[in-house]
Amino acid sequence: MGISELHAWASASPDFLITVSTTVAAASATSSPLSYTPGYAPQEDHFNYEHEDLKPQFIDVKWQPLVEHPYTDKGLSGDPNFKNLTSIAADIFDYNPKIGTEISGVNLAKLTDPQKDDLARLIATRGVLFFRNQTDLDIDAQKELVSYFGKLHRHATTSVPKREGLEDVHVIYTGENSKEMRAVFTPTFLWHSDVTYEVQPLAYTSLKVLTGPPRGGGGDTLWSSQYAAYDALSPSMQTLLEGLSAIHSADLQAEGSRALGRPVRREPVTTIHPLVRVHPVTGWKSLFFNPGFVQKIVGIPKIESDHIIAMLNELIATTQEFHVRFQWGKNDVAFWDNRVCNHSATYGFGPHRRHGVRVAAQGEKPYFDVNGTSQEEEFLRERGLPQVNKDGSGLQNYND
């Protein structure tokens, strides 16, 4: 029976309309309401946990200091329009103009080398990429993929998986009964870029969440663009910071591990890096500042150093326009560039388990180049838009 015939029959049969209306109303009245408790997410049962071999342990071994090694960024070989990667994607969208892009339809475990090159170039451009439900990317495939981008980093103090042979995998694990640490680490201090104290800090970094809080249960991660942090500064402040360097130290991390009776597998190092660096792929200038590891700005009095550090802490932690926040699902992967991003964990997800594995490749020794450019200025020129007023002049009023 077609639509027109059904309409004609229903019009001639008022009893039919009454019957249908009565049935729908009865079904609505008897259906079960949604089960909802504000601020509550049911706890997952981890009986017979499938990732038992990737739970954390602290191996007590001694490693030699890291030494400089040659590095060539794979993103330099990527297509400027990322066509090798986007051609296999089902969808791609940015979270905001400054940072963060989600790609669907891409299986990270099955990329060709040209697609990996594009992946590196896009990470360098967007800061962090998100890929949902990467079930094929087990820990071996994850290591193989990241090793394409550079020498894998072995962390001196954090936990590694129970399974042998994975010393270059960092385990993120918060159990059901783990102690809440928000009173120990301030929100500003939590913002960091991983192991910036190394002579050659990390470049491309992948994190896969194996198990996490259910939807709405917390445990998100945030990233902050250091391209955008640099661009947010006035030209005078940019010039000042371009002539300065900062002391990055592993001492606090090592002391914390020893205080807990955990091993320090490689002696802590202190390194001086430029406060503004240039990315080898994009050519853009970015701030290279780390609230968690920077101890002092070199070559200026302590009071000036303290004020600059406080200002940069506030800039990174509170400027929402260059933040992106990701709500994890099981087997989701984030791939980011530690050279141009800070990131931060979030608390408040107890009593849920949060278990992830991170694999990261070391990049180049940070450097500054006077010929570096600005991400924001380049994008505005390409789009024919006016440049941003950064000197604070003129009367302004903001209502939102």
Is residue 136 part of the annotated active site? The answer reads: no
pLDDT cut 90: percent of the chain above it: 78
Please give the average per-residue pLDDT across 123-137, as a whole number: 98
Q: Give Cβ neighbours of residue 192 (< 8 Å, ≥ 6 apart).
A: 290, 291, 292, 293, 342, 343, 344
192 an active-site residue?
yes
Catalytic: which of 117, 194, 231, 337?
194
Whole-number average pLDDT of the chain = 90
Amino acid letter at 26? A
By the 8 A CB rule, do 263 and 108 touch?
no
pLDDT confidence of residue 30: 55
- How far apart CA 66 and CA 63 sit, in angstroms, is 9
Which has the higher per-residue pLDDT, 33 or 289? 289
- The per-residue DSSP string of 2-66 comes to -HHHHHHHHHT-HHHHHHHHHHHHHHHHHSPPP---TT--PPPP-TT-TTGGGSEE------PPP
What is the token pair recorded at 30? 């008897």
pTM of the model: 0.90
Per-residue model confidence (pLDDT) at position 272: 98
Instruction: Please determine, for residue 16, whether its predicted confidence score (pLDDT) is greater than 60.
Output: no
How many Å apart are CA 272 and CA 255, to the nearest integer?
20
Tokens of residue 217, six digits: 């249960």
Q: Cα dihedral angle (214, 216, 219, 224), rounded to 10 degrees?
A: 130
pLDDT tens per residue across span 355-377: 999 999 999 999 999 999 999 99
End-to-end Cα distance, the chain: 54
pLDDT at 180: 73
Q: Is the pLDDT of residue 25 over 50?
A: no
- Kindly name the residue from 192, 266, 277, 339 that is annotated as catalytic: 192
Of the listed 153, 265, 266, 343, which one is catalytic? 343
Digit-coded pLDDT (tens) for 148-175: 999 999 999 999 999 999 999 999 999 8
In the prediction, which pLDDT does 291 show? Answer: 85
Q: Which of 279, 288, 284 is nearest to 71 (CA)?
A: 279
Helix (H) or strand (E) holding 205: strand 202-211
93-121 per-position pLDDT tens digit: 999 999 999 999 999 999 999 999 999 99
- C-beta separation of 60 from 93 below 8 A: no
Average pLDDT of the residues in 228-241:
97
pLDDT band at 400 (very low <50, low <70, confident <90, very high): confident
Q: Is 194 a catalytic residue?
A: yes
What pLDDT score does 188 carry?
75
Long-range pairs, 21-28, Cβ under 8 A, ≥24: none
Handedness of CA 351, 352, 353, 356 (dihedral sign): negative
pLDDT at 346 over 70: yes
